[in-house]
Amino acid sequence: MQKLRDKVALVTGGNSGIGLAAAKAFAAEGAQVVITGRRRTVVDQAVQEIGFGALGIDGDVADPAHHAHVAEEVTRRFGPLDIYMANAGVNQITHSADVSEAEYDMQFGINARGVFFGVQKMVPILRDGGAIILVGSLASEKVLAGHAVYAGSKAAIGAFARSWAIELKDRGIRVNVLSPGPVDTAILEKLGVPPEERASFTAAMAAGIALGRLGGPDELARAALFLASDASSFVTGINLRVDGGMALL
């Protein structure tokens, strides 16, 4: 039997990487999937990849009005929401001494503000007993060079999750954090790694991971599916590290 049959699932940043992999996994398990992303053309392409009647909505997650619009569309088309995965995020690696105000505001705007107001706008349409998954990062616990601002924005997510797990307990809504370690996605290119240096960059990163390799998007998607489904029905307020043991080294 499909694990998410007749459920409605919304994934922000579902047009690429971990978000797209999770959206595909949710749809394959019977969920009506809605994804959001910044660029319309990329969102449309992702919808085609997901299939199963997925819906794509473009917009800026840092804007609370965008989340209000998404909530209205989901309700109008599908009724109550069952699963909300706040996945959209951005990382710009810069030493603290060189971080500009614009760079700081961008990362906190998307990674923290976007998550906070996304959840605020979705909770009213979320069905009792639903699941909220916030995508954090290993960087919030392990010091990584040039990640101070990113780590701070992701650490905020952990604090949000703990508060919301208590605030929403009377409705049976579970709130958990999924914290990836390095994952082999297109984000490596976004971080400015040239194609000719990707192999050496990946090898250097893998050397700091207990399992000796980067994670795959599908591996994170399976962890997200666990947190979204009844398999985790007695799990709330946790930070699930899916990092290949990197936090141990």
| Active-site amino acid positions | 150
27 in Cβ contact with 51 (< 8 Å) = yes
Strand order of the sheet with strand 239-242? Answer: 55-58, 32-37, 8-12, 81-86, 126-135, 174-180, 239-242
223 in Cβ contact with 181 (< 8 Å) = no
Residue 120 neighbours by CB distance under 10 Å: 14
What 3-state class would DSSP assign to 244?
Answer: coil
Query: Nearest 5 degrees, angle CA 70-CA 115-CA 125?
Result: 40
40-50 and 17-28 helices, crossing angle to 10°: 30
CA distance 31 to 82: 9
Q: Which residues of 93-119 are buried (b: 16+ CB within 10 A; e: fewer)?
A: ebeeeeeeeeebebbbbbbbbbbbbbb
Residue with tokens 């503000």: 113
